[in-house]
Amino acid sequence: MLLRALGARSRDVIFRYRLLPTPAFEYLSPSVEALTGYTVDEFVADPSLFRALVHPEDLHLVTEGTDAEAGATVRWIRRDGRQIWVEDRNVLVRGSTGNVVAVEGIARDVTGQVLATAALKESELRFRTLMDVIRVPAIMLDPAGRATFVNERFLDTTGWTRAEVLGVDWFDNFVPADEREVRRQQFQQGLLHGFPLHPATSNVLARDGSLRHLAISTAVLHDAAGRVTGVVAIGGDVTMLQSVELERDRLGVGLREAEVLARSAARQRVEMVRALQGMGTLGTFQQTAQAMCSEMVTITGVDFASIDAFEGSSRLRVVAACGSAVTPGQHIPRQRATELWARASRGAWTEAYGTPDNPFGRRVARSGEQAVAVSPILTERGLVGLLFLGTRSPEYAGHLVELLPAAVEFAAIAGSVLGPGLEARRDEVSVHARIEQVIRAQAFRPVFQPVVDLATLEPIGYEALTRFTSRQRPDHVFASAQRTGLGLQLEFATLTAALKDALRLPAGLWLSLNVSPACVMAHEDLARILKARTRPVILEITEHEKISDYAALREAIVSLGADVRVAVDDAGAGVANFRHLVELRPDFVKIDAALVKNVNTDLTRQALVVGLCHFAEATGNSVIAEGVETQGELATLRGLDVRFAQGFLLGRPLPVDEVLRQRLPRTATDASTPAKAAGLAPYRAPGG
């Protein structure tokens, strides 16, 4: 009673799941439909549905039996295909002997929390990566002015150790005495109003007492709630200006011009970051990536740019490129992709092409490309791609390390803007490989559900269905195959298996096969598969894709043979389905299970069933009611003159061995065979 009282008012899903003697839901709150898209009745009819909702990659986190109390936060795939995060918390219920007899729990949608946390972690990871990989000094201070982070370059530049810097007051220990008061006031003002975008030269005391001159850019840090948590300062060491002097002759540029060039490049990067951040998405994610590459090559010193997507640890595909030797859609050699995947785990880096230890780089160098700055593109799910900024100038090649901060920031923006598209592409490739493995390993089996004559409750035929070894919902697997271009291959494989097992079904009964319009249109391939039939066949046209040419579809069906009939599935489910009835002129009209459910208590449903029966009678067809689960529904359908039906009440889908154990085979010569009762012509072998 307490569960029901709580469940009636709660947006969370509250449940009690019985383990003994047979698993079943004893209570499930109505909110489950809003969360998953499936009704309470569907979960009660199929208790394994909860597990089928779990994302395949999270199945190892789902516990059962006596381990269920631990709970977990996992991804669920809703009925509409949308992914959500759910926190599951359970309590074990023990019987009088101490054994676990049930599980009570709450499932809560925490998608918003998970995504917000992931975004915060991604931002922190991006920032820490930037701090760790840049080749210029970087420090972080809290609002009180105490150092909370320094990178290795700062320690190398000043001679201090990390233990000597962290936790101490920055101004009292590292700012010259005559500048401390002014600098502290500037710091406090910056916390309130922000710091200038342009770098400012700051003097820092080194451990040996000397001064280091840093051209520092400072920014305020905020937490997820918008509260100030401190500042980050990044600056180049300009003490050793003689390094610029040494480069002057080689570059042929005067010191003043070099400084102007450096400041111009810095301004370009700031403007570029703003432009990329405001870009958003342009059409497809590939188009957005291409636009980003086109923007990035306008930076001084950048001659080419590309964005590549990881489709696995050894598969890297070019998504977009500008001025590069690689082209969109091209796959990087497997060995090179594997090396880049491993290297990306250590953060951004620069790489010179044409060196003896870089075979791929030597090939690319023939096009004039000299070097690249590379940064990982990260999302909450980890590494999804790489961003490349490169030069063809031998002079700039030696200074490419200066582009690393820009590459890291651009990669962070790419992760934010392109992340969903890159993840979707990798998921698509992963699903494609998984479906290929299902087909190759025959990781499925056919099951057969009887269609019965309601006058005798005897079978007149069987519908062939498919169950996958992974226990995923069949409609999800077929939809995934369709999205990744393997829909027909999977259909052909499952149809072949169904026809093989159907050879052992009782004689005199027809076989119903679910086929997509595309499968029927590939009628030559389908005809080869159907040669294995030994009984009349009914093709149930499914609606995985839109039918654009009904006349061509009818011609394809006729070409398959006179003993091949047609059924329209889910009649009454929508306007498009009624068009199927008119255009396909089916031999059987299968009433949608949603109309059959509670038909005994709903006059509207009864009227629709009567209408479909009248349509079938007027067109010389037969009606089959799907999804019959209660005696009340069965009695009402009989009273409405529905002749045939199927559903859990009349027989569950079973492997052929179990079908045979439950039923003695009939002979095809029996005058009362259901095939004849159903009005189907006797089967004649192809060519006979």
- In sequence order, what DSSP letters do the residues of 258-291 get, joined into one string? HHHHHHHHHHHHHHHHHHHHTT---SSHHHHHHH
Quick one: 425 and 546 in the same domain? Answer: no
Q: Are residues 391 and 327 in the same domain?
A: yes
CATH number for the domain that contains residue 321: 3.30.450.40
Q: Which domain holds residue 364?
A: 252-438
The span from the first CA to the last CA of the chain, in angstroms, equals 66
Q: Would 199 be classed as within a structural domain? A: yes
456 lies in the same domain as 602 = yes
- Cα separation of 464 and 542, whole Å? 13
Placement of tokens 């006179």 in the chain: 562
Backbone angles phi, psi at 94, to 5 degrees: -110, 145
CA-CA distance, 231 to 139, in Å (whole number)?
Answer: 8
Model pLDDT, residue 69: 52
Last-in-domain residue among 87, 109, 131 = 109
Q: Quick one: 198 and 261 in the same domain?
A: no
- Give the residue from 411, 438, 465 where a domain finishes: 438
Q: Residue 101 is part of a domain; what is its CATH number?
A: 3.30.450.20
As a whole number of angstroms, the distance between CA 36 and CA 56 comes to 16
Pick left, alpha or beta for residue 457 (phi over 0 → left; psi -120 to 50 → alpha; otherwise beta). left
The answer to whether the CB of 270 falls within 8 A of the CB of 234 is no
The answer to whether the CB of 589 falls within 8 A of the CB of 616 is yes
309 and 220 within one domain: no
Tokens of 346: 């250590």
Indicate whether 88 and 155 sit together in one domain: no
- CATH, residue 546: 3.20.20.450
Asked whether residue 487 is assigned to any structural domain, the reply reads yes
- What confidence score (pLDDT) does residue 172 get? 93
Closest CA to 369 of 318, 325, 328: 325
Upper half-sphere CA count for residue 531 (Cβ side, 13 Å):
7
Rounded distance, CA 98 to CA 365, Å? 72
**Are residues 395 and 488 located together in one domain of the fold?**
no
The tally of domains found in the chain comes to 4
Query: What is the Cα–Cα distance from 452 to 225, expressed in whole angstroms?
Result: 63
Residues 148 and 191 reside in one and the same domain: yes
For 548, half-sphere exposure in the C-beta direction (CA atoms, 13 angstrom radius) is 3
419 within 8 A of 471, measured Cβ to Cβ: no
Domain check: are 310 and 367 in the same one?
yes
Closest residue by Cα to residue 12 from 77, 78, 107, 84: 107
Strand 200-205 vs strand 147-150: parallel, antiparallel, or unpaired?
A: unpaired
Please state, as a whole number, how many other Cβ atoms lie within 10 Å of the Cβ of residue 413: 20
* Alpha-carbon gap, residue 670 to 309, rounded angstroms: 63
In a domain, 551, yes or no: yes
pLDDT in the model for residue 5: 58
pLDDT of 138: 83
* Dihedral sign for Cα atoms in the order 509, 514, 518, 519: negative
Residue 202 β-bridge partners: 214
- Clarify whether residues 117 and 105 are in a common domain: no
Residue 225 domain-assigned? Answer: yes
* Other C-beta atoms lying within 10 Å of the C-beta of residue 339: 16
Q: Is residue 687 part of a domain?
A: no
How far apart are alpha carbons 269 and 256 in whole angstroms?
20
Dist. CA 32–CA 43, nearest whole Å: 9
Other C-beta atoms closer than 10 Å to the C-beta of 471 total: 12
The answer to whether position 311 is within a domain reads yes
Q: Is the dihedral of CA 31, 35, 37, 40 positive or negative?
A: negative
Q: Helix (H, G, I), strand (E, B), or coil: what is residue 226?
A: coil
* Cβ contact 427:640 at 8 Å: no
Identify the burial level of 543 via C-beta atoms within 10 angstroms of its C-beta, where 0-12 means exposed, 13-18 middle and 19 or more buried.
middle
Q: Which of 416, 438, 460 is the last residue of a domain?
A: 438
Do both 198 and 148 map to the same domain? yes
Nearest to 599 by CA among 562, 640, 658: 640
Mean pLDDT (10-residue bins), the chain, 688 residues: 60 86 86 90 86 85 56 86 87 85 87 76 61 70 91 86 92 92 89 70 85 79 76 71 42 45 48 49 74 83 90 90 89 92 88 73 77 88 90 78 77 81 83 92 95 94 95 90 91 96 93 92 91 91 74 90 85 61 86 90 91 87 93 94 94 93 52 42 36
With respect to residue 672, please indicate whether it lies within any of the assigned structural domains: no
Q: What is the DSSP string of 306-319?
A: EEEEEEETTEEEEE
Query: Are residues 494 and 550 part of one domain?
Result: yes
Instruction: In whole angstroms, give the CA distance from residue 565 to residue 167.
Output: 81
Main-chain dihedrals φ then ψ at residue 504, nearest 5 degrees? -95, -5
Predicted local distance difference test score (pLDDT) of residue 379: 85
In SS3 terms, 96-109 reads as CCCCEEEEEEEEEE
Taking the C-alpha atoms of residue 104 and residue 10, their distance in angstroms, rounded to an integer, is 15
675 inside domain: no
The residue with tokens 């990989």 is 133
